[in-house]
Structure formats: C-alpha cells, structure tokens
C-alpha cells in the first residue's frame, strides 16, 4: 500500500494550481500519471515480487542520464559524502585507506591529524577497530567505522612490517577530530625567489588558504614571481573561485557572469575584498583535469592578462550547478546556468542538449569556436576549455612504470624501505644511490607484473589487421623476426627507464618520512612544467610579450 501512496504523491506534486492550457505542463502531468499507473500495474501483476526502491532509482537514473553528467540525485545515504565534497570536512582519524588482499591498510595519513599523531604510517595493516575484526571488509565499511563524533576515542589494532620482514602488532588509541581537508596541500619555494602554491580543491576557505600561503611566502623573502598550480583540480564552489582570483586582482573586478534560463540564475560576480598582491609576476599551471572553478580562475587571470597560463588545454566545463532540496533528506544537484569569464567567452566544450544519431554528445569543433579579446587585446577562444599561453605535454608514462604503479610495487617497496631505515635526508636533497636502485631491481624481479611495450602492441595490431586483409601469410616470417627482436626484457627496461621509475620511487619513499609535504617537494624537483614557469617568470620581457603588455 505504501508503494502506491509514494507513486501517487509523485504524480500529484505541484499541479493543483497549474493551467492545463500550457501544453508543457500537461505533458509533464500526463507522463507522470502514466509512470505511476505503469508501476502500479507492475507491482500488482508481475510474476515476482518487485523492489520498489531499485526500480524507482533506475527510472530516476535513466531520466538524469538524458541530461548532462553533473545533474545528479543525491540520496540520503550519500549526504555525508556530499557535505565532505563541498566543505572538505568530516570527523574521523584523518587518513586515506586502501585494500590489499583481505585487509585494509593506511595509504596516507594526513599530516598533523589523529592518525599521524598516533604514529600510524602508510603501509600499516588495520586488523581491528573497537575490538571488531575488519578482515574482508571493504574500504567504505572500514571508513565508516573510523568516522565518528569529534572527541570520541577509538581503539585501532594494526600490524606493521619490521626490518626483518615479519609483522609486529600494535595498538593505537586515537581521538577522533574534525578533519578539514586542505585546499592548499602544499606551498613552498621553487628556488630562491619563485614561490609555489598548489591548489587541490575549491571547498570552503580555498581563497583564504591561497591568500595565507601567498602572505607566508612573501614574508620569507622578496619574491620575483608566484606559480599557482591547478593541475588535477576538479573545481568546487563558485564563490571560492572568485575568492582565489581576488587574491591576485583588485577589488570590484568582474570575474564571472552567470546566465541561466531563470532570472534568479543570471547574475555577475565581482571581487569584494582587497587583493593580496596585484603586481607580482604570475604563472598558472593547468591540465586536462583542471575543471570548473579551476577554469574560472585560470581563465579570468588569462582574460585580465594577470597571469601566463602554462600546460595543457583544460577540461572545458562551463556549467554551474546548484542544489535543490527534495523530500526525505535528499537533494538534486542540477545544472542551472553557464558561466562566462571576463572576455565574454564560455569555455563549455560539450552541448549536452545536442546529440548525434547514436545519442552521443560531441565536442564543439575548432572551426565553430568564437574569438574574444583579453584586456590587452590578445585573442582567445570559447567552447573548448582554457588554451594555455605556453603549451606543454605531459610526460609519457612508460608501460613498465604503469605496471609497477598499478601493482602497488612502488608502495610496497617504500613500506619495506621505511621499515629498514629510521631516517633519510630532507626531501629537498634525498636521492636513492645507484646501489639502492639495483637493490630495487633485484627486489622487483621476484614480483608479478606484466606489461606490453607500445611497439609490441603496434606489432600485434599489425598482425590482426594483416590477417583480416589476408596479407599475414606473406609477412609472417618478418613478423616473427620482429617479435623476437622486440621482446622486452624486464631487467633491461628497469635500467632503460630508470630516470622515470626512480622519480616515482623516491617520491613514495619521501612521503613515508615527510608525508604529503615530502611527496610534494619531490614532485617539484622533477616537474618540467614548473621549470618552464620559473624560466618565464625570470624573464620579464618574455612575460610581458606573452601577456600583450610589451611596448
């Protein structure tokens, strides 16, 4: 009976005062009534018992799939995760966890939070929580057990690898705290006079964190330039995008305008605070995973000729979402508008309202992109993310490196290394010796990890195509000869790709002693985009020319 009441309520929502002369509203009412009647008939006469929740959720999901991927229904059970995404806050021990075989292990404790204070390390295997074994549990199940009210105590039993290769059991009493995931996980100096700020998210206080990081760097010494790193930043709160831009541009500067179907969804937003520093030479680094709020910051600073953008074309998300309350503590996150940055361009790359004959959405072709002008008259384009002023290419990940990473062999070796070495040099200078790298190659030789080189894959593609076209018989001898010569040797590949492999290895090891700060320092040491940014910021003439300000 309750199932019918729910469906009937859905069908009747909001139509008491509607005029049915409006064909649009009539179609909505008609189809909701059909939907309710259809479910009622299924529930009454279908041969098997129906699961109302699953069926309705499937219908809801399919309806939303016809729209853009950012319009989502948030059920009550997912509200905690949603709040974490928007605020960056939760209460727990402050650690990232992952699975290995039947156990969950610590993969990264957050610096300065309860897990770190209690002495837990990456690689520690969680055995029980509050006296209950966690063997075989999923990470989300263990995560729920670790979370709780701030100030409450939790007993965690874990095993840690020792120097002789055995495991020792330990017990930690951990006091849960409110965990605020930092928007700025790291800032520091790239050299004597170029500062660096990495912005990972746009949750509450992102702008203030960037402002504080800049102030801290400028308090250390006189800066010749600042690099804001937005790579991999998926975006977040619109207000925080404006607050971040406000750190580098004057008060009352328009950063974004928003245009939607409803009048309330159309407005413009200006900076409201005094800037942190409007003069310091600036570079923004972005990539294909920089989206939404990241693109507002990168794009507005580019349009205002405030910063040179370095890296790759950004994701191309120019849509704004708001949340609407629904019954039973649920919400709808819905796309309500598009945003436009100071030059007037919208960087949205896909029009989800238009689909091809197969139902797939397509990206806007370059030929249809419209030109706009920055403040100094430089030409920029809409419809495909933010094009960098200086284009770079990401380092090509070798297949052996990918295999070592996906098999967690960098992680496992770092765990063993930490068990055998009480300390290492500071992250700024730490480096594995040649002998230590040889030890790693011997260690990994006994591990299972398979991969194919790009050449091997291309050769197999040639075989497949030539077989289909009946050419393979004639080239079979050459194919076998090439295959034999091309066959990779893992040990040789470990030496051939040493430079790339050792950078990942050193980064993982440094994080065991200095946590995320150590990892970030190691990354900055080898990052080619950062090196390019430093070069540009050290050349005032080149910077001014790129920004269209040279005389």
CATH assignment of the domain containing 387: 3.90.226.10
Please state, in angstroms and rounded to a whole number, the distance separating the CA atoms of residues 243 and 320.
Answer: 17
For the stretch 347-362, pLDDT in tens is 998 888 777 777 787 7
Please state, in angstroms and rounded to a whole number, the distance separating the CA atoms of residues 492 and 497.
Answer: 9
User: Does residue 262 sit in the same domain as residue 320?
Assistant: yes
Residue 85: count of CB within 10 angstroms of its CB: 14
Instruction: Identify the pLDDT of residue 107.
Output: 96
Nearest partner of 230 among 380, 385, 57, judged by Cα: 385
Q: What number is the average pLDDT over the span 529-537?
A: 95
Residue 364 within a domain = yes
User: Does residue 494 sit in the same domain as residue 482?
Assistant: no
Instruction: Looking at mean pLDDT, say which of 43-47, 304-308, 472-476 comes out highest.
Output: 304-308
Whichever domain contains 156, its CATH number is: 2.30.42.10
Rounded to 10 deg, the angle between the 206-220 and 238-246 helix axes is 20
Q: What number is the average pLDDT over the span 472-481?
A: 80
Please state, in angstroms and rounded to a whole number, the distance separating the CA atoms of residues 230 and 234.
Answer: 9
Mark which of 126, 149, 180 sits at the end of a domain.
Answer: 180
Confidence class of residue 486 from pLDDT cuts 50, 70 and 90?
low
Task: Specify the range with the lowest mean pLDDT, choosing from 250-259, 284-293, 463-472.
Answer: 463-472
Q: Which residues contact 471 (CB under 8 A, 6 or more apart)?
A: none
Please state, in angstroms and rounded to a whole number, the distance separating the CA atoms of residues 359 and 532.
Answer: 42
Residue 408 within a domain = yes
Q: Which residues contact 35 (CB under 8 A, 6 or more apart)?
A: 7, 10, 11, 59
Residue 405 within a domain = yes
Residue 121 has pLDDT above 90, yes or no: yes
Mark which of 348, 366, 394 sits at the end of a domain.
Answer: 394
CA distances, 508 to each of 153, 244, 496, 540 (Å): 30, 30, 20, 36
Q: Is 164 a catalytic residue?
A: no
Find the catalytic residue in 229, 287, 317, 511.
317
Where in the sequence is the domain holding 417, given as residue range(s)? 399-452+488-535
Beta bridge partners of 72: 333
For the stretch 411-445, pLDDT in tens is 999 999 999 999 999 999 999 999 999 999 999 98
Please state, in angstroms and rounded to a whole number, the distance separating the CA atoms of residues 276 and 218.
Answer: 10
Confidence class of residue 377 from pLDDT cuts 50, 70 and 90?
very high
Residue 76 within a domain = no
Q: What number is the average pLDDT over the span 398-409?
A: 91
Find the catalytic residue in 116, 229, 303, 529.
303
User: Does residue 500 sit in the same domain as residue 431?
Assistant: yes
User: Does residue 511 sit in the same domain as residue 438?
Assistant: yes
User: Does residue 129 sit in the same domain as residue 272?
Assistant: no
Please state, in angstroms and rounded to a whole number, the distance separating the CA atoms of residues 84 and 62.
Answer: 26
User: Does residue 357 sit in the same domain as residue 293?
Assistant: yes
Nearest partner of 143 among 189, 108, 94, judged by Cα: 94
For the stretch 220-254, pLDDT in tens is 989 999 999 999 999 999 999 999 999 999 999 99
Is the whole model's pTM more than 0.75, yes or no? yes
Residue 60 within a domain = yes
For the stretch 509-519, pLDDT in tens is 999 999 999 99
Residue 401 has pLDDT above 80, yes or no: yes
User: Does residue 333 sit in the same domain as residue 434?
Assistant: no
Q: Which residues contact 334 (CB under 8 A, 6 or more apart)?
A: 71, 321, 322, 323, 324
Instruction: Please state the three-class secondary structure of 208-236 as a single string.
Output: HHHHHHHHHHHHHCCCCEEEEECCCCCCE
Residue 542 has pLDDT above 60, yes or no: yes
Q: Which tokens is 400 given?
A: 């052996």
User: Does residue 285 sit in the same domain as residue 232?
Assistant: yes
Instruction: Identify the pLDDT of residue 12.
Output: 38
Nearest partner of 184 among 216, 212, 210, judged by Cα: 210
Residue 80 within a domain = no
User: Does residue 431 sit in the same domain as residue 381?
Assistant: no
User: Does residue 223 sit in the same domain as residue 312?
Assistant: yes
Confidence class of residue 363 from pLDDT cuts 50, 70 and 90?
confident
Residue 251: count of CB within 10 angstroms of its CB: 12
Residue 208 within a domain = yes
Q: Is 452 a catalytic residue?
A: no
Greater model confidence, 456 or 209:
209
Mark which of 161, 180, 199 sits at the end of a domain.
Answer: 180
Residue 18 within a domain = yes
**Residue in this structure with the two tokens 């100096």, named with its chain if needed:** 189
- Count the domains in the chain: 5
Q: Is 303 a catalytic residue?
A: yes
Confidence class of residue 544 from pLDDT cuts 50, 70 and 90?
very high
Residue 226: count of CB within 10 angstroms of its CB: 27
Confidence class of residue 97 from pLDDT cuts 50, 70 and 90?
very high
User: Does residue 296 sit in the same domain as residue 239?
Assistant: yes
User: Does residue 426 sit in the same domain as residue 507?
Assistant: yes
Find the catalytic residue in 292, 294, 343, 511.
292
Please state, in angstroms and rounded to a whole number, the distance separating the CA atoms of residues 104 and 137.
Answer: 8
CA distances, 192 to each of 101, 229, 283 (Å): 46, 18, 17
Please state, in angstroms and rounded to a whole number, the distance separating the CA atoms of residues 430 and 203.
Answer: 33
Instruction: Say if CB 135 and CB 126 are below 8 A apart.
Output: no
CA distances, 185 to each of 262, 413, 463, 470 (Å): 37, 25, 48, 57
Greater model confidence, 85 or 204:
204
């Amino acid at each position: 009976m309750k199932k019918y009441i729910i469906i009937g309520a859905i069908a009747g929502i909001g139509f008491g005062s509607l005029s049915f002369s409006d064909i649009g509203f009539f179609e909505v009412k008609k189809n909701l009534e059909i939907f309710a009647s259809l479910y009622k008939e299924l529930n009454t006469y279908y041969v098997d018992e129906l699961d109302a929740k699953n069926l309705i959720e499937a219908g809801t999901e399919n309806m939303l799939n016809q729209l853009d991927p950012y319009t989502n229904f948030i059920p009550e059970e997912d509200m905690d995760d949603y709040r974490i995404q928007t605020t960056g806050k939760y209460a727990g021990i402050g650690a990232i966890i992952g699975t290995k075989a039947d156990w969950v292990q610590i993969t990264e404790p957050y610096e300065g939070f309860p897990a770190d204070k209690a002495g837990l390390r990456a690689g520690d295997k969680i055995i029980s929580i509050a006296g209950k074994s966690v063997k075989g549990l999923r990470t989300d199940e263990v995560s729920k057990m670790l979370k709780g009210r701030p100030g409450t105590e939790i007993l965690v039993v874990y095993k840690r690898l020792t120097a002789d290769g055995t495991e020792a059991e330990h017990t930690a009493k951990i006091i849960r705290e409110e965990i605020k995931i930092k928007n700025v996980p790291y800032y520091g100096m790239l050299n004597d006079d170029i500062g660096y700020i990495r912005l990972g998210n746009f949750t509450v206080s992102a702008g203030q964190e960037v402002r504080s990081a800049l102030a801290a760097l400028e308090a250390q010494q006189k800066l010749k330039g600042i690099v804001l790193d937005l790579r991999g930043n998926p975006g977040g709160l619109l207000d925080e995008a404006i607050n971040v831009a406000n750190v580098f541009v004057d008060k009352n500067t328009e950063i974004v305008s928003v245009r939607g179907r409803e009048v309330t969804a159309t407005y413009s937003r200006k900076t409201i605070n005094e800037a942190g520093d409007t003069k310091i030479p600036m570079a923004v680094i972005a990539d294909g995973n920089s989206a939404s709020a990241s693109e507002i910051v990168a794009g507005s600073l580019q349009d205002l000729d405030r910063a040179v953008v370095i890296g790759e074309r950004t994701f191309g998300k120019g849509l704004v979402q708001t949340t609407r309350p629904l019954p039973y503590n649920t919400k709808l996150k819905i796309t309500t508008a598009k945003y436009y940055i100071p030059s007037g361009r919208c960087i949205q790359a896909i029009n989800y309202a238009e689909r091809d004959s197969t139902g797939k959405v397509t990206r806007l072709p370059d030929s249809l992109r419209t030109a706009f002008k920055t403040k100094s008259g430089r030409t920029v384009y809409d419809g495909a993310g933010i094009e960098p002023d200086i284009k770079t290419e990401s380092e090509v990940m070798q297949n052996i490196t990918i295999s070592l990473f996906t098999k967690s062999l960098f992680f496992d070796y770092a765990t063993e290394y930490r068990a055998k070495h009480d300390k290492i040099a500071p992250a700024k200078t730490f480096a594995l010796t040649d002998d230590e790298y040889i030890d790693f190659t011997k260690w990994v030789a006994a591990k299972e990890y398979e991969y194919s080189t790009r050449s091997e894959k291309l050769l197999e593609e040639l075989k497949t195509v030539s077989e289909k076209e009946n050419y393979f018989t004639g080239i079979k001898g050459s194919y076998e000869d090439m295959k034999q010569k091309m066959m990779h040797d893992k040990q040789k590949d470990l030496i051939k790709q040493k430079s790339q492999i050792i950078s990942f290895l050193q980064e993982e090891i440094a994080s065991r002693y200095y946590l995320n700060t150590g990892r970030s320092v190691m990354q900055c040491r080898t990052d080619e985009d950062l090196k390019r940014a430093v070069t540009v910021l050290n050349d005032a003439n080149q910077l001014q020319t790129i920004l269209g300000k040279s005389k």
